[in-house]
Amino acid sequence: MVGNAILALSVLQTLLAREAFTYALIGEDLSLRELAPNFQTFLNNADIQKGQSAAEVFDALIGSESVIRDTLKEENSEYGLEYIHFSQPNQPLRYLSLRICPYHKNAERLFLLIAEDVTSAALIEQRAIQARNELRLLRIRLNLENANL
């Protein structure tokens, strides 16, 4: 059991170091309570601080406060957003996936927010949609040409 915990911790530290994802603990008021060591660098924003509203950091969370609080009451197992556009001035285009789930630390009820960079998957999906649309257009043109013949 201890060996599994050590392995899990090693994997987590490797993923954090590679900037594959980051995490934060959020209070019931949806403010950032604790930040992963790579939180600011992952988001390319050194101005993010403890106590700041999570919705200030992630615009996509604006208006989702009641759903997120239902997650804390465990009416929902988690709250997730896929492929949210995340941009910073003078930084390349990025897409993130956000997951928020209940987390209990001692007697305190918190949220665990996990942000994962899914830019490559989002771009592949966009290319697939574009290719599918181009094929539909070619099929329509082919049907028109066949009707003309």
Model confidence over 22-35: pLDDT tens digits? 899 999 889 999 99
Q: Say how far residue 84 (Cα) sits from the centre of its chain.
A: 7
CA distances 5 to 1, 11, 79, 112, 121, Å, are 6, 10, 26, 19, 29
Listed in sequence order, the DSSP H helices in the chain are 2-17, 39-42, 54-57, 65-72, 119-148
What's the mean per-residue pLDDT of the chain? 83
Q: φ, ψ for residue 143 (rounded to 5)? A: -65, -40
CA distance 15 to 61: 24
pLDDT band at residue 50 under the 50/70/90 scheme: very high
Q: Could you give the angle at the alpha carbon of 15 between the alpha carbons of 11 and 19, nearest 5°?
A: 170
Say if residue 4's pLDDT is above 70: no
CA distance 81 to 96: 8
Model confidence over 71-107: pLDDT tens digits? 777 766 788 888 877 777 777 788 888 899 888 888 8
